[in-house]
Structure 1
Amino acid sequence: MSATLATTTPASTSRPSADEMNGYRKGCTALMPNVPTSYDYVPHLSAGIVFCVLFGISMAGHIVQGVRKRQWTSYVCATGALTELIGWGGRTWSSQCPYNDSAFLMQITTLIMAPTFFSAAAYVVLGTLIKLVGRASSALSPVTYLVVFCTCDGVSLVVQAVGGALASIAQKNGTSTKDGTNIMVAGIVFQMAAMTVFVFFLVDFLRRVWRMGGRTSLPQGAALVLPAMVFSVVTIYIRSIYRTIELLQGWRGYLIVHEKYFIALDAAMMVLATAVYNVLDPAILLPSSKKGQDGEAQIEPSPSAGESEIPLEEAKDSKQDKAEDDQGSRQSGSAHGS
C-alpha cells in the first residue's frame, strides 16, 4: 500500500532514533521504509474522504429531523454519525501523517464506540412502538425497557472508550496493548450480549403484536420502521463480530493490518446502520403517541382474519338498521295474523 504525500520527508532511510520517532509522532511525516505505522499501513485518503462525506450527510439529515420532529432517534443517530465522522477525520489525517499519534488516537477511540449510538436508536424505536401499541405488547414497561437497555449501552460506551484510550497510549509508548485491547473486547462483547437480550424482547414484541391482530395492530408506518430497525441491528452485529475477532488477533493480526476488511465490515456496516434511518426515518413514519387512562397509547384492536374491516361507527349503524328492520317485520307479521 503506497504512502501518500506528507509535509515532512526524512532525508535518510535508516531507522530513526527514539527522539526522531517522537518528533514524527507529533508532526506529519511520510511513510519511511522499514518503519511501521500504528496501523501497519497508510490509510487510503480516498476512503477517508468518502466516509467523511457519507457520515456527514447522514448526520445532517438526522439533525434536520431532530430539529423538526424532536425525536430521540434523530438525536442518537446524529450523535453516532458525528462520532463516525470524527473517527474518519482522524483516518483521513493519518493518510497524510501516518505516524501522528493524535490522529491514531482520534480514530481508534471514536470508531470503537460509535456503533453504541446506533444500537441505542434501535432501543428507542422499540420503546416508542411499545408506547404506541400499548403495555400488552411488551413484557416490560416502556420506561423500564429504555432505562435497562440504554444503561447497558452507556456502560458499553464507557468500557470501549477506556479500552481504546489505554490501547492507543500503550501503542504510543511501545508497551503492551493487551490490557486495553481486552477491555475493548469486553465492551464489544457486553454490547453484543445486551443486543441479544434486546432481540429476545423484540421477538416477544412481534409475537404479542401478531396475537393482537398482526400488522394491522401496528401504528401507521411501523411496518416500515420495524424492518429498518432489524436491518440496523444486523449490521451492528456483523461489525461487532468482526471487531471482536480483529482485536483478539492482536494489533498486528491479519484483519487489523488489512484496511479492506475494516472498510467492508466496519465502515460500510455503520453507514448502512445510520443511513437506513435516514431513508425510513422513525421521526417521520411513527405517529406521536397519545396516552390513555393507563398512561399508554391506545390503539383499537384490528379485525380478526375473515372479518371485514368496516369502521366501528358504520358497523354500529348497520346493526341498528338491521334490528329496526327485524322489528318492523315482526310487527307487520303480527298485524296480518290478527
Structure 2
Amino acid sequence: MAINYFYPIGFGPSANCKLGIPGCTLDISVFQYLPNVPANATFLAVFAVLMVAHIAQGIRYKAWTYMGCVAAGCALELVGYVGRILLHDNPFDFNAFLINLAYVFIPCDIISLVLQGTGGALSAGAETEDGTKVGVDVSKAGLIFQVVTLVLFIGLSSDFLWALQRTHRHDDQRVTRPLKVMIVWLAAATILILVRCIFRIYELKDGYFASAFRDEGTFIAFESVFMIIAVACLNVGHPGRAFLDTSKPGETGRPLDALAEK
C-alpha cells in the first residue's frame, strides 16, 4: 500500500499550504504573522480618499500629468493593501504576496523598479536559499539606486531654488508665497519618501525571512503612515495653487500642462 507524504511549502509559486493543514503553520509563511485587517483596511480607505482628492484637484487646476502620476501611485498603494488583506485569509498565497509588493516611484526610478521587480522574480523562482539571496540582493540594489537618485534630486532642486531665490531679474522668476508653500510641502513629502526608502533597504538587509521583514508594527510606521502623510502633503501643497495664473482679472488660471510646455 502506497503512502502519500505531504511536504508543506509555505512560500513561492509552489506553495501548497493553507492554515489548518497539518504542518502548515505561520512559522513557514513569509511574514510569520497574519496582516492586521482593520489597520490595512483603514490605510486602504485613506489612500482611496487621498486619490479622489488628487483627482478633484487635478481637474480643478487642469494639472493632468501631475494628477495622473499621483493618482497612479495611490492606485498601486490600494493594490498593495488589497494584497495584504488577502494574505490575512491565506498567509501562504504567493499571488497575494506579489500584489502586496506593488510600488510606484518617480520617473527617474524606473531602473529601480525594474531591478526590484527582477529581484522579486529571481527570489520567487529560486529553488535554493542562495538563489533567493541573489533575488534579494538585486531588489536591494534597486532600492539603493532609488535612494541615491532621490538624494541627487534633493541636492539639485535645492541648488536650483537657492539660485532662483537670489535672482530677481524678472517678476515671474521670484519665489512667490504660494510657491514657497508648495516647496515646503513637497520637501516634507520627499523627506518622508526618502526615509521610507531607507527603511525598505533595512527591511530587506537579511532577506525575506529575517525578523525585520516580518515586523508589521515597523512596516505600518515607516511604510503606511509615512506614505499617507507624504500623499497628504502633496494634497496640501498642490502645485495648482502655486502656478495658477490669476494675474489678469476674470481669469481662473491656465492648465499646468500648458505652463510646462513654455
* TM-score normalised by L of structure 1: 0.63
How far is 1:201 from its partner?
Answer: 1.1
Q: Are the counterparts in 2 of residues 30 and 97 from structure 1 also a CA contact under 8 Å? A: no
How far is 1:250 from its partner?
Answer: 2.0
What letter corresponds to residue 178 of structure 1 in structure 2?
Answer: K
Q: Cα 1:250–1:262, aligned 2, differ >3 Å: closer, same or farther?
A: same
- Partner residue, 1:211: 166
Q: Cα 1:49–1:169, aligned 2, differ >3 Å: closer, same or farther?
A: farther
Tell me the distance in 2 between the aligned counterparts of 1:238 and 1:57.
24
- Partner residue, 1:228: 185
More contact order relative to length (CA 8 Å, sep ≥ 6) = 2
Find the partner of 1:167 among 123, 136, 159: 123
Please state if 1:279 is matched with 2:236: yes
Count of residue pairs the alignment pairs up: 239
Q: Are the counterparts in 1 of residues 33 and 214 from structure 2 also a CA contact under 8 Å? A: yes
Tell me the distance in 1 between the aligned counterparts of 2:236 and 2:9.
49
How far is 1:208 from its partner?
Answer: 0.9
How far is 1:79 from its partner?
Answer: 0.7
Q: Cα 1:223–1:103, aligned 2, differ >3 Å: closer, same or farther?
A: same
Give unmatched runs, 5+ long, in structure 1. Answer: 1-15, 121-149, 297-338
Find the partner of 1:45 among 15, 37, 42: 37
The C-alpha deviation readout for 1:166-196, integer Å capped at 9, x for no partner, is: 32343xx565311111111111111111111
- Partner residue, 2:248: none
Tell me the distance in 2 between the aligned counterparts of 1:54 and 1:201.
32
Give unmatched runs, 5+ long, in structure 2. Answer: 245-253
Identity %: 26
Q: Cα 1:81–1:155, aligned 2, differ >3 Å: closer, same or farther?
A: same
Q: Tell me the secondary structure at the aligned position of residue 222 of structure 1.
A: helix
Equivalent residue runs for 1:1-338 within 5 Å:
17-18=6-7, 25=15, 29=19, 32-33=24-25, 35-68=27-60, 69-108=62-101, 110=102, 113-114=103-104, 116=105, 120=106, 150=107, 152-170=108-126, 175=129, 176-213=131-168, 217-219=174-176, 221-287=178-244, 288=254, 296=262
Tell me the distance in 2 between the aligned counterparts of 1:217 and 1:88.
42
Larger Rg: 1
* TM-score normalised by L of structure 2: 0.80
What letter corresponds to residue 227 of structure 1 in structure 2?
Answer: V
Tell me the distance in 2 between the aligned counterparts of 1:217 and 1:268.
34
How far is 1:199 from its partner?
Answer: 1.2
